[in-house]
Homo-oligomer: A and B are copies of this chain.
Amino acid sequence: MDFNIIRIARVVMNVTDLDRSRAFYVDALGFVETERDEDHLYLRGLEEHVHHSLVLKKSEKPGIQAMAYKVMEEQHLDQLYTFFKDKGMRPKWMDQGCQRGIGRTLRVQDPSGLPLEFFAEMEGVERMLQRYDLYRGARIQRIDHVNCMVQDVEAAQSFYMNELGFRCSEYTATEDDRVWAAWLHRKPTVHDHAFMNGVGPRLHHVGFSLSDPMSVIHCCDVLAAKGYAHAIERGPGRHGLSNAFFLYLRDPDGNRIELYTGDYLTSDPDFKPIRWDLNDPRRATFWGHAAPDSWFNEASVVLDVHTGEELPTSEPVLQQRKPDFVT
């Protein structure tokens, strides 16, 4: 590979009411608002030194416009362009200036249909890491990962690992050894990108990293105090997979956010991917209440990078939609 992908770096997400979203993301969850215009809210975490990691775009319908990776050098974008073009994947340039705070970007629908984006430059801003007086809610530190539902996890995993250079930290297998879910990373954490078997392509959730478990608990308290207790869909609990202490929230449009803390360093090439049986009860929930059905069935639709239209979804190749102990 002649490109070097650093990390998941931003998600661009449609929402239907910017004020309502701002109340949730900024006032309750504690995202830092970098900037707002009539149609966009640019948000970042406290440790982020760049313009944003989450863009909420006002739209009539929800939908995910892009999940973006930062690359090491500007020229890697050109190399990715050639790579995608050679694969017949119809990449699309978005020039610098047409999106706020970011350089030129390359967009492409990945083999699962997910709207990927790549960029090398983003405007720098003041880092708020030590502005503890501004810490609110979940004290969001930074974007950590995206988790996507796709029809064919094995195909997706193969493309990301073999063609884009991702490594696998953990995975879930069915009884007959089919990969049901996979956790892939470029930065040395458990993941930048996870895939799970399901109706796809859809974005299951965006994960944001917190500095400690008490930030999760405090966020729950703040959410309840502000009337958002119903936004808590699952958790707090501990994942077996990744070891993270987690909380899943649904934003006012139904998009799912994970608050995530406590995974581990995956820098070593001799770290062997951890295998979990799909039906091992400790896999997804080391402890905690069982995930509700909504967690397995609902996810955000994604948009076509060329037309902006919602992508149709299809049934997954593996029949089992969720572990057998969740009844």
List, in ascending order, chain B residues with CB within 8 A of A282's CB: 224, 229
Nearest chain B CB to A53 CB, angstrom units: 11
Taking a contact as CB atoms under 8 Å apart, the answer to whether B224 and A287 are in contact is: yes
Cross-chain contact A222 with B265 (CB below 8 angstroms)? no
Find out whether the CB atom of A50 lies under 8 angstroms from the CB atom of B268.
yes
Q: Which residue of B lies closest to A224 (CB)?
A: B287
Which residue of B has the minimal Cβ distance to A143? Answer: B265
A229 is contacted by which of B141, B213, B265, B281 (Cβ under 8 Å)? Answer: B281
User: Given the complex, which residues of B lie within 8 Å of A254, measured CB to CB?
Assistant: none
Q: Is the CB of B287 within 8 A of A47?
A: no
Are B187's CB and A267's CB within 8 A? yes
Min C-beta distance of A312 to chain B, whole Å: 33
In the complex, which residues of chain B have a beta carbon less than 8 angstroms from the beta carbon of A121?
A: 270
- A226 CB–B CB distance under 8 Å: yes
Chain A contact patch, size range: 35 or more
* Interface: A130 (CB within 8 A): yes
**Chain B residues, Cβ within 8 Å of A316:** none
Tell me which of B226, B270, B271, B287 contacts A232 (CB under 8 A).
B287
Whether the pair A271, B49 counts as a contact (CB closer than 8 A) is yes
- Given A224-B238, A282-B224: A132 and B264 interface contact (C-beta under 8 Å): no
Do A214 and B211 touch (CB < 8 A)?
no
What B residues does A2 contact at CB under 8 A?
none
Q: Which of A253-282 contact B (CB under 8 A)?
A: 262, 264-265, 267-272, 281-282
Residue of B nearest to A72 (CB): B269
Contact B220 A288 (CB under 8 A): yes
- C-beta contact mask, A25-45 vs B, less than 8 Å → 1, else 0? 001100000000000000000
Q: Is the CB of B6 within 8 A of A267?
A: yes
Contact among B129, B135, B217, B269 with A213 in the assembled complex (CB-CB below 8 Å) = B217
Residues of chain B within 8 A (CB-CB) of A285 are: 229
Interface assignment of A200: CB less than 8 Å from any CB of chain B: no
CB contact under 8 A between A70 and B268, given known A132-B218, A225-B131, A243-B129: yes
Can you list 27 contacts pairing A with B, beta carbon distance less than 8 Å?
Answer: A6-B269, A47-B264, A49-B268, A70-B268, A130-B224, A130-B240, A130-B243, A130-B286, A132-B221, A133-B222, A133-B226, A142-B264, A142-B265, A187-B188, A187-B265, A211-B212, A212-B262, A213-B217, A217-B217, A220-B237, A220-B287, A224-B282, A224-B286, A224-B287, A232-B287, A236-B236, A289-B289
> Which residues in A have some Cβ–Cβ distance to B below 8 Å?
6-7, 27-28, 47, 49-50, 70, 72-73, 121-122, 124, 129-135, 141-142, 187-188, 211-214, 217-218, 220-226, 229, 232, 236-238, 240, 243, 245, 262, 264-265, 267-272, 281-282, 285-289
